[in-house]
Structure 1
Amino acid sequence: MGKLLSAILGFIFKKTVPKFFLFFALFFLVAEFTPILVEIVGGRDLVANLSSSFASLPSDIAYFLIPFRIDRGLELVISAYITRFIIRRIPLMG
């Protein structure tokens, strides 16, 4: 019984706990540094400029684009590409 308990505790403290701390550190890096890197890259300005450019479209074109929410879709796609670019630059993640 003692060897079984020792094996279980050894597994937990040698395998599981270090992985928990490693994944927590990676999560912390991504959660805290991604907004900082987005500010550096200027992703928010790009999305804001895209929204203002959709506002300047003629009403004939906007009539067909607005029901499909093309403006919101392009914002999401551009934000996803910027986030992917930034996450790929983080060591151990990309």
Structure 2
Amino acid sequence: MKTFRLVSITLLAAPLLAGCLERGEPPPVQSTLAEDDDTFCRANGKYTPTSPEYVYCRRDRDAQRNQAQARADRRQRDLGDYMMSHPERPQ
């Protein structure tokens, strides 16, 4: 009887403890970004989803996000290059 209780408690607790095994990775934000872009482009009835202006708005938002990501990647790479070139002096 004790073995059955131990096994059942373990089986019930395993899904709860599985959340503790995450590797610290953030949840995917792709869907929230799409919702944010949709809300921005539809704000105040500016554009309808079937209009060409809506498509241009979504494309511009994607381009802005990609440029911001490229800038952040470039800054990180430049910082790494600086640190490799100047190991004696931290920034």
In which range does the TM-score fall when normalised by the shorter chain? 0.3 to 0.5
What TM-score do the two structures reach when normalised by structure 1? Answer: 0.37
Task: Determine which structure has the larger helix proportion and give its number.
Answer: 1
Greater relative CO (CA pairs within 8 A, separation 6+): 1
Find the structure with the greater CA-based Rg: 2
The TM-score normalised by the length of structure 2 is 0.38
